[in-house]
Chains A and B, each alone.
Chain A
Amino acid sequence: MDRHDGFREFVLARQQALMRTAYLLVGDAHLAEDLLQSVLVKIAGKWPGLARDGNPKAYTRRALVNQYISWRRRPRPEAPSADPPEHGVSHDEETLDRIMLRQALAKLTRKQRAVIVLRFWEDLTEAQTAEALGCSVGNVKSQTHHALARLRALAPELAGPDSLSDLQEVAR
């Protein structure tokens, strides 16, 4: 039995969900993988303690979000090989929503983006989001309010009548 077996099992079980969160946070597959990998390297070092008396799932999510917020922004110079800009291959409403949301998320601050991902993708409560971000519940409320206002301004179609009422409900 390898002493890293527990860590391996945890990563195998959780890596795809964590990768999706990382991808929503950074919006680029390669950067998301870098971000997640750098966090998992740290988690590997802390694993014995975490496995014994911690909550690895919550700790890793917290580490991921905080690493993202504090991550030094890397330069993205022009290169002859452009990254795939959009993934849509059809013009249906859902594809357009995704394109719009990608563009809108890119214009949020990192903390606002993290709040949107944690509240609306991870479905965390305000208290859980505050715990993950290491800030107060009040701060989560104000960040959510500002992020949603920005999203409504940037992607009004996404905040249509149905979405708007739901968003307001969740924001409360």
Chain B
Amino acid sequence: MTRLRRALNGIAEEAPMVDLADLALAGHRRRRRVTALLAAATVATMVAGATTATVTSIRSHGVAAAWRTEAAAAPLRSHDAAATPQTEAAVPDLPGGRVGPLAYAYRTPCDVDRERKTIDCAAVEWRVVTRAGTTYRLPQALALNDQERRVPVAISRDGRMLAYYSRQAQAHVVRDLVDGSQVTSPVTVKEERIGIGSMLVVSDDGRHVVFDPREGSKEPGLLIDMRTGKTVRIPGEYEPVSIKDGIAELVRYVKTDLWLMPVTGGGRPVRFAGAYITFSELAPDGRTVAAAEMKDLQKQKLSLLDTAGGRAPRKVAVRGLPEKAGVIATGPWRSGSELTLFALHGKGTHVYSVDIGTGRARRLADYPPGKPGGFLVLPGVASG
């Protein structure tokens, strides 16, 4: 076998598993319905004496629109936070089927009555916003448990997968927003286990989730294979950062141990001297992660850490952020040299792309200002 064939084989092996028979049949039925409706419209138009040209125009546009929204899926419009403002009363529930990838999710805040000095969290709920700018309520996702602990949701790096905890199922659910499918975890997790600072991460293919019941405690976490129900126990002192290419990235703070654990378990942690936070996922080179040393956070400096242990950390001063901006998280790598970075300044959260060679930051997108007490969940960033 030539290197070309071997490389083609290698790429082909990376194709995800699919199950398309029922989706294709559903698409076929939708097409038939659209065609039938258009045929009826054609007859009506002919009866009304409309011209053939008009009918042709309606037909082609009608089919194209239905096809784009119902069958072809995956709208790739850039997220615009200001698009389609919706009033509170008009926010619909997330419908079944295909809604397109998400830009972010947020939890609504508790109602605070300053005069009576009371806080009512009964109406707290999760909402999601698609890249197309539409907001949906997510009543099926538990937002607070009976102990009023926050229950996280997570969005995959590409916005396609949404993971949440379902009170009804007492388990995690992963919903594919592009093809509309949904998988409920075979592993039940009692609601009472969800404690302070619980965290959740979902992989790009939706197959794996990491659930940490209580941040920074000795309560062990779980990596769940949504397809088989197999679990890998994660020592409680480790927190999840990401799941990418079959590797769960876990961090133990204070001593800063980074553990790149295969989703089947195994691997060994690597220790870094220094107190690092805001860890990124593994870079495309398969060995670098970005993080910020605590003492550098105010200085807007990132450190590039070598998980293979062969290179000393390299510091990158980020240029182009407002002086008072606070770096809150690193996100997915956009390429081998560009990393997304989330920063708080002004009235909201802003996304930047940072060239890790030069440190130059380029603003990519803005998230709307959250209400105090609300909570923003971003794609590819561990939620908790």
Contact = CB atoms under 8 A, between A and B. Distances in A.
B49 interface: no
Contacts of B285: 88, 91
B2 interface: yes
Contacts of B24: 7, 11, 37, 40-41, 43-44
Nearest to A71: B72
Interface residues of A, number: 67
Given A75-B76, A79-B131, A37 B332 contact: no
B72 A38 contact: yes
B213 interface: no
A159 B4 contact: yes
A24 B73 contact: no
B331 interface: yes
Interface in B327-384: 331-336, 340, 351, 353, 364-365, 378-380
Given A33-B16, A77-B76, A80-B379, A158 B332 contact: no
Given A7-B21, A83-B158, A76 B76 contact: yes
B152 interface: no
Contacts of B311: none
B16 A37 contact: no
B76 A89 contact: no
Interface string B1-40: 0111111111111111111111111011001100000000
A111 to B, nearest CB: 17
Contact of B11 (A16, A24, A38): A24
B158 to A, nearest CB: 5
A37 B23 contact: yes
A19 B16 contact: yes
B11 A85 contact: no
Given A30-B160, A41-B28, A23 B331 contact: no
B79 interface: yes
15 contacts: A20-B13, A29-B205, A38-B27, A38-B67, A41-B71, A79-B103, A81-B331, A81-B378, A84-B157, A84-B284, A85-B335, A88-B285, A89-B286, A117-B8, A167-B2
